[in-house]
């Protein structure tokens, strides 16, 4: 019998029409773009009419456990294998969701796209090759913002406000194309 650490198959951030905003796959279960898009479409269609705003919702889709949470025009999904501990998946989802909320002034598609670098870094800090790297939203946000990069203060001792300050600073730089 093989025992594995909890593995995250993918993290998806889709918009209110099911289009990709930012996605990250950690598994070879979907070998090409077509199969990835098919999975996203299937999950989106099956969840779009569900109100997953107050609490994270959950379902079994195509043999995977998917937890999801929506806010404004954004749909957050975390996928695990069919025998994964559902509560662990939910913790990862919450970590991602909250970290994005800490980093962005306003969680909606527009702001996410304007700060796509932060969201992509967020994904990078949450899971590494399927293994959960960190799921505490404050720590994730702080690492994304490189708070403490120069100081010797351990990250865990940082506060939300510090992280927020960095995020605001980032926003203030006003994205230029």
Partner 1 sequence: MAQLQPVGKKDDDREDDSEYSPFYGIEKGAVLQEARVFNDPQLDARRCAQVITKLLYLLNQGETFTKTEATEVFFAVTKLFQSKDIGLRRMVYLIIKEISPSADEVIIVTSSLMKDMNSKTDLYRANAIRVLCRITDGGLLGQIERYLKQAVVDKNPVVSSAALVSGFHLLQSNPDIVKRWSNEVQEAVQSKASLVQFHALALLHQIRQNDRLAVSKLVTSLTRGTVRSPLAQCLLIRYTSQVIEESSANPQSGDRPFYDYLEGCLRHKAEMVIFEAARAITELSGVTSRELTPAITVLQLFLSSSKPVMRFAAVRTLNKVAMTHPPAVMNCNIDMESLISDQNRSIATLAITTLLKTGNESSVDRLMKQITNFMLDIADEFKIVVVEAIRSLCLKFPQKYRILMNFLSNILREEGGFEYKKAIVESILILIREIPEAKESGLSHLCEFIEDCEFTYLSTQILHLLGNEGPRTADPSKYIRYIYNRVVLENATVRASAVSALAKFGAAVESLQPRILVLIRRCLYDNDDEVRDRATLYLNYLNGGGNEAHSKTFLFTSLDVPLVNLESSLLSYDASERRFDMSAVPREMKHQPMLEKKTPASKKAAKEAGQKAFANGHLTSSASDAYEKLLNSFPEFSGFGKLFKSSPLVELTEAETEYSVNAVKHIYPQYVVLQFNCTNTIKEQLLDDVSVVVDTSEAEDFIQVASRKLSSMPYGAPGQAFVAFQKTEGRLCVGKFSNILKFRVKEVDPNTGDCDDEGYEDEYQLEELEVTAADYVLKTVVTNFRGAWDAINAENEMVDEYGIGVRESLQEAVQAVITILGMQPCEGTESVSSNARSHTCLLAGQFIGGAQVLVRLQFGIDAQKQVAMKLTVRSDDPEVCAQIHEIIGSA
Binding site for partner 1 (CB under 8 A): 1-6, 20, 22-23, 33, 36-37, 46, 50-51, 55-60, 67, 81-83, 85-91, 109-110, 113-114, 116-117, 120-121, 124, 128-129, 131-135, 143-144, 146, 148-150, 154-156, 170, 173, 175-177
Nearer to partner 1, 22 or 101 (CB): 22
Q: For partner 1, give the closer residue by CB, 18 or 59.
A: 59
Strand partners, 15: 74
**Taking the complex as a whole, how short is the minimal distance between the CB of residue 9 and partner 1, in angstroms?**
12
CB of 24 or CB of 101, closer to partner 1: 24
Q: How far apart are CB 101 and partner 1 at their closest, in Å?
A: 18
DSSP state of 7: B
State the nearest-atom distance from the C-beta of 163 to partner 1, in Å: 13
Whole-number minimum distance, CB 85 to partner 1, in Å?
5
Torsion of CA 82, 87, 93, 95, to 10 degrees: -150
Q: How far is CA 145 from the centre of its chain?
A: 16
Residues 51 and 132: their CA atoms lie apart, in Å, by: 27
User: Measured between alpha carbons, how far is 80 from 146 in angstroms, rounded to an integer?
Assistant: 29
Find the shortest distance in angstroms from Cβ 6 to partner 1. 7
Q: Which is nearer to partner 1, 75 or 170 (CB)?
A: 170
Give whole-number Cα distances, 81 to 7, 9, 160, 165, in Å: 8, 7, 32, 37
Cβ atoms 72, 92 nearer than 8 A: no
Name the minimum Å distance from CB 30 to partner 1: 12
**Between 116 and 160, CB nearer to partner 1:** 116
Task: Detail the DSSP E strand segments found in the chain.
Answer: 8-15, 20-25, 57-61, 64-71, 74-80, 127-128, 131-132
Identity of the residue, 15 or 101, whose beta carbon is nearer to partner 1 in the bound complex? 15
* In contact, 76 and 93? CB cutoff 8 Å: yes
């Amino acid at each position: 019998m093989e025992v594995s650490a909890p593995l995250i198959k993918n993290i998806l951030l889709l918009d209110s029409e099911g289009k990709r905003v930012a996605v990250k796959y950690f598994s070879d279960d979907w070998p090409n773009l077509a199969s990835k898009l098919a999975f996203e479409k299937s999950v989106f269609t099956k969840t779009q009419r569900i109100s997953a705003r107050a609490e994270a919702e959950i379902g079994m889709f195509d043999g995977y456990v998917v937890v999801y949470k929506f806010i404004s025009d954004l749909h957050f999904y975390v996928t695990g294998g069919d025998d994964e501990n559902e509560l662990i998946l939910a913790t990862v989802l919450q970590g991602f969701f909250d970290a994005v909320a800490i980093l962005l002034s306003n969680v909606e598609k527009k702001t996410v796209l304007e700060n796509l670098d932060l969201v992509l870094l967020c994904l990078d800090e949450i899971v590494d090759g399927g293994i959960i790297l960190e799921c505490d939203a404050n720590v994730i946000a702080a690492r994304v913002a490189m708070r403490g990069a120069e100081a010797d203060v351990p990250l865990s001792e940082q506060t939300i406000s510090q992280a927020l300050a960095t995020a605001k600073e980032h926003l203030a730089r006003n994205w230029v194309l």
